[in-house]
Amino acid sequence: MAEKIKEFINDPEKLEKLYREDRKSFEADFEKIYPEIENTEMAKFWKNRLDFEKIPDKTKKNSAPDILIMIAVCLFAGFLIKIPDIFNINLIKFPFYEKDAGIIVFLGLTIYAFSINRHLSKKNLVIIFLTFIVSIIYINLLPNLRNSASIKLVYIHMPLLMWCAYGLVFIDFDFKNRSKRIEYIKHNGDLAIMGAVILIAGALLSGITIGLFRAIGINIEKFYSHYIIIVGLVSAPIVTTYILKNSSALTNKIAPIIANIFSPLVLITLIIYLTAIAISGKDPYNNRDFLLIFNMMLIGVMGIIIFSVSETSVYGKQKFNEMVLFILSIVTLIINLIALSAIFYRLGEYGLTPNRLAILGSNILIFINLILITIDLFKINFKKAELEKVDFTISKYLPVYILWTLIVVFGFPLFFGMK
């Protein structure tokens, strides 16, 4: 790392990539070689930056270690998720988990993010606090109509709104800094990968534990599922964030590998799938469930493209991966066009409903975003543009998704009269 820092001391972009790849090694080696490079302006800049980032660490001597904070937040989130059992709430009459589970998960993440950063202003803290309070009051005051499509859409989109609130804390309310938005996108990809690993490990541990107790004649399945598993599920994102914060070097090596493996596999799968659709004669126009699966696949592939771009861009030019992403974006555009045509067809045949309008709006937003990403990927592959260009396009488009989420959460129940 020390030799690379010396080599790239006059290249801000490559220094930033080195820093993001392995922050701890970068900081340690930079301190060692600083006397050799202290006369350069870039070295002075990084010295000030790294020293500034160490300032909060001085307060840690007088505060609880990160692991205790993590445990406390997990216990708090676990308490909230067990409210129905504690207060004997009838889940048939009141859909607590549909309404509040997503909010609880992101509330835990937000509290943990604030607890370890400790430099959020009081004004911003009040804004986040009010955001969660208003959201909790709003969603719990909605009628408990299980057949209402507009209310179900609120249940689906409210966690997305809370994801945005968590993002504000993560980027320190620095709206204009697109680099921080990109870092947040990358963080979510890392969170998904490490979270999946933790959940798999947790599932294995649960199976072994239940099996061991069953072997000695003690049935703990009911207790384990009602307490350990449900609290573990709501705590998993917080534990994952703790791991990402304290083992960033490990994640920074795993995530790009996963991205590079998944992108070609997803591309091959989609091409085979589209071919199979043509051969089988299945279509999303007259089959509602098929259209729903089609749209879920579209959203999933879009997420993979965004994640793959954010991870690949860390390591600069990778021609094969960039070409795969370009072709994948074109194939996804084709899928999006099929989905949009099917939605317009069903609107013409069966009329406007909350679900159809929500799917139409989401598909149009994704379609526009995909066009912009595809144009950028074309320039990267054929006009020697940098992959970071796609990152900035993605980060610039995020507020559009936030606006649409707000419309669905607060506008649809009113517009459709809770239907």
Cα-based distances in Å from 2 to 6, 20, 37: 6, 15, 11
Instruction: Please state, in angstroms and as integers, the Cα–Cα distance from residue 285 to each residue in 30, 272, 355, 365, following that order.
Output: 59, 20, 15, 20
- What pLDDT is attached to residue 4? 80
Selection from 231, 233, 238 nearest residue 80 by Cα: 231
- Apex 302 CA angle, 301 and 304, nearest 5: 60
pLDDT, tens digit, 9 for 90 and up, residues 59-103: 444 445 788 889 999 999 999 999 999 999 998 889 999 999 999
Match 């299945």 to its residue by tokens: 282
Q: For residues 158 and 137, what is the distance between their CA atoms, to the nearest angstrom?
A: 12
DSSP string, 75-94: HHHHHHHTHHHHTT--TTTS
Better pLDDT: 290 or 56: 290
Query: Measured at the alpha carbon of residue 403, what is the angle toward residues 95 and 238, in degrees to the nearest 5?
Result: 55
Q: Give the whole-angstrom CA distance, residue 131 versus residue 110.
A: 12
Q: Which of the listed ranges 53-67, 152-166, 176-190, 342-356 does the model predict with the highest average pLDDT?
A: 152-166
CA distance 256 to 275: 29
What pLDDT score was predicted for residue 103? Answer: 96
Tokens of 382: 């054929």
- Say if residue 1's pLDDT is above 60: yes
Distance in angstroms (rounded) separating the CA atoms of residues 351 and 262: 38
Closest by alpha carbon to 418, among 149, 186, 166, 221? 149
Q: Which residue has the higher pLDDT, 28 or 210?
A: 210
What are the tens digits of pLDDT across the range 127-156? 999 999 999 999 999 998 888 999 999 999
Token pair of 140, please? 């719990």
Select the more confidently predicted residue: 411 or 316: 411
Question: On the CB side of 324, how many CA atoms lie within 13 Å of its CA?
Answer: 23
Residues 353-360 have a mean pLDDT of 91
Mean pLDDT of 14-27: 76
Q: Which residues of 187-214 are buried (b: 16+ CB within 10 A; e: fewer)?
A: bbbbbbbbbeebeeebeeebeeebeeee
Which carries the bigger pLDDT value, residue 353 or residue 31? 353
Distance between CA atoms of residues 179 and 310, nearest Å: 11
Distances (CA, A) of 143 to 68, 94, 338: 39, 9, 35
Q: Which residue type occupies 108? A: G
pTM of the prediction?
0.79
Rounded Cα distance, 93 and 146, in Å: 9
Q: What is the predicted pLDDT for the residue at 234?
A: 94
- Which pLDDT value is given to residue 186? 83
pLDDT tens digits, 104-116: 999 999 999 888 7
- Distant-in-sequence, close-in-space partners of 177: CB < 8 Å, separation ≥ 6: 171
Domain boundaries, the chain: 2-59, 64-246, 250-415
Helices (H), 216-318: 221-223, 230-246, 248-280, 288-312
Rg (CA), the chain: 24
H helix intervals, 55-144: 66-81, 83-86, 96-117, 122-141
CA 212 from centre of chain: 36
Q: How far apart are CA 12 and CA 16, in angstroms?
A: 6
Say if residues 139 and 159 touch (Cβ distance below 8 Å).
no
